[in-house]
Structure formats: structure tokens, C-alpha cells
Amino acid sequence: MTVKPWLDIYPEWVPSDITVDEETLEESLLRAADRYPHRVALDFLGATTSYRELVERARKVATLLRNLGVQRGDTVALALPNCPQHMYALWGAILTGATVAEMNPLAPQPELHRQIAMVDARVVIAWEKTITTMAPAADDPRHYFAVDLSRDLPLTSRMLLKLPVAQARTQRARLRGEVPPHVASFDREWRKAAPMDLATFRKPQAEDVAVYMFTGGTTGKPKAVMLTHRNLVSNRKQIIAWVPFEADHHEVIAGVLPLFHAFGFTLMMMCALDLAATAIFLPNFDIPSLLAAQKRRPMTVLPGVTPMFSRILAEVEKREAAGETIDLSSIRFGVSGAMALPDEVARRWEERTGGFLIEGYGMTESSPVVSGSPMSPDRRPSTLGVPFPGTEVRIANPDNLAEDAVDVGEILVRGPQVFAGYLGEPEETAQAMFEDWLRTGDLGRWDGPFVVMADRAKEMINSSGFNIYPSEVEEVLRGMPEVRDVAVVGIPAAERGESVVAALVLEPGSTVDLAAVRRWAEGKLAHYAMPSSIALFDALPTSQLGKVMRRSVREQLDNFELKAGVWVKKAGAVAGSATTAVSDMTRETFERVLAGLETTYNLTVDQIQSWASSVTKSAAESGDVVRQWVDKTAPSGETIAAFVRSAGATLESFATWVVRSGHDLVAGATRSVTPAAEEKGATGDDATDQKDRAKPEETA
């Protein structure tokens, strides 16, 4: 395709191209502070930071970093949830000319250490719980700083957290972590520093690397994506040109996506600042906190993923059925990414808000947005939209990338937002490119001017917006003594897009269940990459060359059914020599989740038992049953479900434990929640499965 037919359906306000200049990231921050010094830049659970205060604090952080020797070209690693300190640290690092490495604060220790080493970070600023996971040695030459999430909460919330009551203790355990004495307090140190004199600021170059984002790329090998100032500024300009923001309109952007994800970083950080918008930061996706923020400060823009929009709608409908009034009409623009947006979800959202909900497409290597549906009646749900201004897309013949595909082919992308390469990986970078085109690894086709996804990248699993590479999961599980062979595949899952299934061939005489597999993988895999279920095979299907055919594994699962975390052949057939009824829960996990529900939400035994019985009967019936016993002091059924999932369990297994155990075991369960139980579900790890983990306002 040599012409650009998509230009014909561009709305009148969208230019065909953008101006690519020498602008660098900090300019939008300084510009916003100069024009709107007293405007709220950040709302964190009700605590606010103005643009003037944001720049002042970033300058203090810059001084702190400079005093440690940080200069242009050095790397400052951040492992933080969405919080004010994340903003201070990021912009402070940018003002020194350093490169910021964004890391998942809930990643396992080996992954964190590997990433820090990969980018040769000089300074690491991390959440206290992440510092606990990292366990940095006292003689580590890097400078480590710990962030206290409770430090920038509203004053009332901070006071309530100090109360000697169970609920306050539980909240503190979620927010705080054990910090070694040799790790300094970031919150204390930046406050002591003097603001950097901006006259001494050495402006970076547009081609300098601004941010490292971690990804497996199209091959699954962990890599650091190099995004330059020009890449990020260009993508920011493309997004802002695409959306019909009103001149001088005060936008309020929901910050529910994790900032270590390129989607969240560009929309919630880069675009918000250029618009001088207010960002509503939540440390995790929590619907009650989001709706409380909507009442406090009505939002105009909500970037998210499909399950977020679906669950918000479900919660609003449930509350309104109970007599509550919830107004979402301020949300003029919704942007969905990372997975398909069903027509029905888009329709219901637009009916509820009166605004637009469009789907975008991209990848970390493209900063990340490549295309999107128009914010106009020409939008087309369930497609990837049309290329953004200044962006070209080709559908290439997979067997000869120089040729356009007749129908389905590989999606290639070219534009100023395409990355500078993988850090220290010239061969991997070369494989990701064809001439000056970025190879997405995704298959697509044209439907008029719209791009339609034909298939996900061949083997990659997309769960809740996170890319999971089967080879990484397989490598971990293959080290399990009981496992002879393994293949990992993704299967459709309504809430997450896809769930991870581990197909195992066991050593003779061995037995495993899902709980054992997850215990083995704990600390070796990110939480979102953990298998959700297992299937036991006598042998895995292979090609003539002996290569395991994951597609065949996935096809064979059509003849299986899921029972308590394990896939078994239908009609009573045994899937493998070691197949048994398995559960993804141990008694310890069960009691921990049960205790958490009782202490955190003040639930009674009867309430938990009623909910569990409804789930075991029918998930579809559970909503009505739950509503019969949930009152104003108890959480919704969805909140309970979220709490269970945050501990790494499934609803079905937890409910089965409750029903089988009866009231005696429920009543005798331990009443304390260990910090370890909460650590899995603190923030950001899964953009659609984060709930009920840091809600100090509700403690009040």
C-alpha cells in the first residue's frame, strides 16, 4: 500500500503529520508550571500537588541526585507504583540529564536485579516493599532509596493509619515494608535538599535516551527498550493531535494504568503534562477509590484496558440498582489499549458517559501508540483503528517483507515514535526491524483504511495488557524436579484477555498440583505470568523435528475441561498419568485470605459462607445472592473476588474450601493478615486485576 487512504477519514482537527523538532521532555513540565503554577498537577487519594510544587520538588530531587554524582548519560532506576514520589523522582532525574529506567515494583527479585544490572543503574528509588524484595547488599556500590507510600497521603489518612486498631494495621502492612538500615529514606532526603538552580540545567538532546522500558520484544528475551526524548515527544504530540481537546480546557486524566507500562507512561505522564492536566493517581486499580475520585474531581479522560471499563460499568450499575447516583458524564474520552475492545463494551460505555471510547494499538517499541479509531462517528470498534499522524503502516508478506501482503500479513510500522533500539542488543534490534520499518510480530489485514488484528504475535500471551512469553515460563517450570517437559499456552479468558496454562509431562510416579507449580514459580516469575491452571499430558505434540507445537497443545485443550485448576479430558478420560483433582489453594493460603476478609472488611462467617455457596452454585447467580447480605459496611461481591485473586487464588477454589470446611473451620481461622499475603497484590502488577490494596481514605 503506497497511498494513505486513512487520511480521508481523519476528523477535521487532525493534521496529516506532526512537527518533529528538538523539544525534550522537561519542556512540557516547565511550560505547565509557568502558565498554571497553582493548578493541581496531581491528586493522590485526595492529597494534591500543584505544578509549582511539582517543579520545586523535582528540582530538590535533581540536587539530591547531582550530589550523588548523577549526570547526563547515567541511569536512575524507579520501581514504584503510581504515587507522587514517582513523579518527583522521574522529573528530578530528567532535570539531571539522566535516563530513567521504569521497573515493575512487584517483579520477583531475580528480574529486578537483572534489570538494574542491564541498565547499569547508578541510583535505585523503590517502594519499601520492593526494597524488601530486592534485599540490596550493604556493600552494593549503587545508591538505594526507599519510598514510603503513606508519606504523601492526606493528613487525615496518615493520622488514621497510626491508630492501634486492626484495620489500620492491615493498611500499614499493605503500604509499608521492612527497609534495611543501609537504605536511605527517599522522602526524607529529597526534602532536605535545596532546589536545583535551573540556570545550571544542561538541556538534553532530542536523540538522547530518556527512558528504558523493559519488554521481551518479539522474541521473548528480556530487553531494555530505548525510548528517546524525540520518540516520546512525538508520540505525545500524535495522541494530543488525535483527541479533540478544547483549548485551555482543564483536563482531568485518570491515572489507573501503571507508569512502568508504556501505555500508562505516555498517556498519564507525558500527555497530562503537555495539557497542564490534573492526573488522578491511584496506586492500583480500585473501583471504589476511582469512583470516590470521580465525585471529588470529575475526570475527563480515562485511559485503560477492556476489563477496566467492563468492571466500572458493572459496579456503577450495581450501585445504581441499590439507589446510589453515579455521574460519569464528565468522561469525554476513553482510550482502550493492550487488548481487543468488544463492540458491546464500547456501546455501553458511550451510552453511560455520552463520550467516546476508542481502541488504540501499539507496543513498547513505538512509545507506544501507532494507531487508533477516530474520535468521531467514523470510529470502528474491534479494529486497531487507522495510523496516527506522521505514522505509516504496512501489511507485509511474512515470507517476503519487501512485498505487501495480499490479505493477512505482518504489521510493520514507521514513524518518529519508533524506538532507538534495545540496549546492548544490536542483533535483537536488527531482528526487530526491516529496513526502517518496525516489525510488530503481529498479523493483521486491511479493512478499508482500518487495520484489523488477525492474530496475536504467534506465541505471545496477552493477559490484562501484559505480554507473557511462554519460553520464560517454560524455563522456570522445566527446572521443577517432577516435570519432564512443559509447554505454556494462552487460552481466552473473559476478564483478562488470556490466561496462562502450563501443559506438563511428569516424571514417572510424580504428582503435582497447581499450588505446587505456583510455589515453585514464586519469586522466579512476575505475578501476572504465573500459570492460572495446568494440564497433564502423557506426551506433548511435536513436529517432525521434535519441536513442541504449542498451537496443537492449545487445540487439544478444546477436548479438556477445567476442574479445580487442572484441565482433564472430557468424558472422564485421564489427561496424564499423574492427573488428580487439584486445587490452587493450600490451607495456609485459605486461612490467610479468610482472615483478611474478616479483618479488613468486617465480614461475618455467615456472609462469607453465603457468598461461597453462591459461587459454587453458579457464578451467574452469585451477584443476587451477594446483594442480599452486603450492606453499607461490607464490600461488594466483586471486591471479595478481587481480594481472593490478589492472594493468588481462584474464586472457585476458595469458595469450595469454605463450603467443604463448614462453619467450624471458618470460625477457627487465624485473625491476622501477614504482610506476605498482601505483597503480591500491592499495585501495578496487572493493569486489570488490582484491587483493595491501598485505600487509606476508606479506613476513615
| Dihedral pair phi/psi, residue 207, rounded to 5° | -90, 0
- Give which of 265, 264, 311 is closest to 290, Cα–Cα: 311
Q: Is 267 exposed, middle or buried (0-12, 13-18, 19+ CB in 10 A)?
A: buried
Per the CB < 8 A criterion, the answer to whether 652 and 616 are in contact is yes
Pairing of strands 123-127, 483-493: unpaired
Classified as helix, coil or strand, 285 is: coil
Amino acid 347: pLDDT: 94
pLDDT score of 414 more than 50: yes
Other C-beta atoms lying within 10 Å of the C-beta of residue 71: 13
- Per residue in 270-281, pLDDT tens? 999 999 999 999
Task: Describe the crossing of helices 651-668 and 637-646 by its angle, rounded to 10 degrees.
Answer: 90
Q: Which residues lie across from 452 on neighbouring strands?
A: 445
Across 96-124, average pLDDT: 95
* Range scoring the smallest mean pLDDT among 48-57, 572-581, 645-654: 572-581
- Give which of 271, 302, 265, 308 is closest to 286, Cα–Cα: 308
- Give which of 517, 513, 393 is closest to 449, Cα–Cα: 393
Per the CB < 8 A criterion, the answer to whether 681 and 104 are in contact is no
Pairing of strands 497-506, 483-493: antiparallel
Cell of 506: 511428569
Share of the chain above pLDDT 90, in %: 58
Sign of CA dihedral 381, 382, 387, 388: positive
| Dihedral pair phi/psi, residue 392, rounded to 5° | -115, 145
Reported confidence tier of residue 699, pLDDT bands at 50, 70, 90 = very low
Q: Which residues lie across from 13 on neighbouring strands?
A: none
Amino acid 128: pLDDT: 94
Per the CB < 8 A criterion, the answer to whether 97 and 73 are in contact is yes
* CA 301/CA 358 separation, integer angstroms: 12
Other C-beta atoms lying within 10 Å of the C-beta of residue 403: 12
- Give which of 408, 394, 336, 333 is closest to 369, Cα–Cα: 336
Q: What is the DSSP letter of 247?
A: T
Strand order in the sheet with 123-127: 184-185, 143-147, 123-127, 75-79, 99-102, 209-215, 223-228, 421-422
- Per residue in 436-474, pLDDT tens? 999 998 888 999 999 998 765 567 788 888 878 887 899
Reported confidence tier of residue 579, pLDDT bands at 50, 70, 90 = very low
Domains of the chain: 400-455 (2.30.38.10), 461-572 (3.30.300.30), 587-669 (no CATH)
Share of the chain above pLDDT 70, in %: 77
- Per residue in 44-76, pLDDT tens? 999 999 999 999 999 999 999 999 999 999 999
Amino acid 280: pLDDT: 97
- Per residue in 559-573, pLDDT tens? 888 887 888 777 544
Across the chain, what does the average pLDDT equal?
83
Amino acid 497: pLDDT: 87
Amino acid 575: pLDDT: 36
More confident residue, 86 or 568: 86
Cell of 461: 500471551
Task: Describe the crossing of helices 287-296 and 306-321 by its angle, rounded to 10 degrees.
Answer: 70
More confident residue, 574 or 19: 19
Angle made by CA atoms 329, 270, 264, in degrees to the nearest 5: 65
What's the pTM value of the predicted model, to 2 decimals?
0.73
Pairing of strands 301-304, 333-336: parallel
Per the CB < 8 A criterion, the answer to whether 623 and 318 are in contact is yes
Other C-beta atoms lying within 10 Å of the C-beta of residue 552: 15
Angle made by CA atoms 575, 580, 586, in degrees to the nearest 5: 135
Across 484-508, average pLDDT: 89
* CA 461/CA 551 separation, integer angstroms: 12
* CA 46/CA 157 separation, integer angstroms: 10
The owner of cell 492472594 is: 647
Q: Which residues lie across from 500 on neighbouring strands?
A: 490
pLDDT score of 92 more than 70: yes
Please report the DSSP string for 345-410 in residue order: HHHHHHHHHSSEEEEEEE-GGGSSEEEE--SSTT--TTS--EEPTT-EEEEEETTEEEEEPSSSEE
Q: Which residues lie across from 597 on neighbouring strands?
A: none
Reported confidence tier of residue 605, pLDDT bands at 50, 70, 90 = low
Reported confidence tier of residue 192, pLDDT bands at 50, 70, 90 = very high
| Dihedral pair phi/psi, residue 634, rounded to 5° | -110, 155
